[in-house]
């Protein structure tokens, strides 16, 4: 979902859900820009997911400024770290062509890639 700071629109939709896939284009450091362009940031999404007790959160649609190299700055790890500080469930950062499964028992997992 691509949803700037309008978490009230998601509240009812998330009742009883097992997973939320949501964009987290930026970190909180870029909150103003996120709002200006209609995007979210990791802490905002993670705090919302935690508040509605979603057991699984998949963040996606990252700004290209967040590089894959964990030693670069800014790095995709900045998004992960910010979200982990605000969210107590299972956190996933989506990868291009990544696949996930949710079984009938509500178990969510990332499928192994090639």
| pLDDT of 9 higher than 90 | no
Q: Ramachandran region of residue 45, left (φ > 0), alpha (ψ -120 to 50) or beta? A: alpha
Q: Report residue 32's pLDDT band, with 50, 70 and 90 as the boundaries.
A: confident
Sheet holding 90-93, edge to edge: 19-23, 56-60, 90-93
**Is the four-CA dihedral 114, 55, 92, 26 of positive or negative sign?**
positive
Mean pLDDT across the stretch 10-24?
92
Which tens digits make up the pLDDT trace of 53-97? 999 999 999 999 999 998 989 999 999 999 999 999 999 999 989
Which 3 state secondary structure label does DSSP give 60? strand
| Pair 24, 61: CB distance under 8 Å | yes
Which 3 state secondary structure label does DSSP give 75? strand
Q: Which CATH class is domain 8-110?
A: alpha beta
Q: Report residue 2's pLDDT band, with 50, 70 and 90 as the boundaries.
A: very low
Return d(Cα 72, Cα 12) in angstroms, integer: 38
Does the pTM surpass 0.85? The reply is: yes
Strands 56-60 and 108-110: unpaired
Sequence spans of domains, the chain: 8-110
Place of tokens 């649609």: 61
């Amino acid at each position: 979902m691509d949803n700037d700071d309008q978490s009230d629109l998601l509240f009812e939709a998330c009742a009883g859900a097992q997973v939320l896939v949501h964009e987290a284009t930026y970190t909180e450091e870029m909150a103003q820009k996120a709002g200006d362009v209609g995007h979210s940031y990791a802490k905002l999404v993670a705090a919302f997911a935690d508040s509605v007790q979603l057991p699984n959160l998949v963040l996606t649609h990252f700004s290209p400024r967040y590089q894959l190299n964990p030693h670069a700055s800014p790095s995709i790890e900045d998004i992960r770290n910010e979200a982990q500080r605000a969210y107590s469930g299972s956190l996933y950062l989506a990868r291009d062509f990544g696949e996930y499964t949710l079984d009938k028992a509500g178990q969510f997992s990332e499928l192994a890639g090639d």
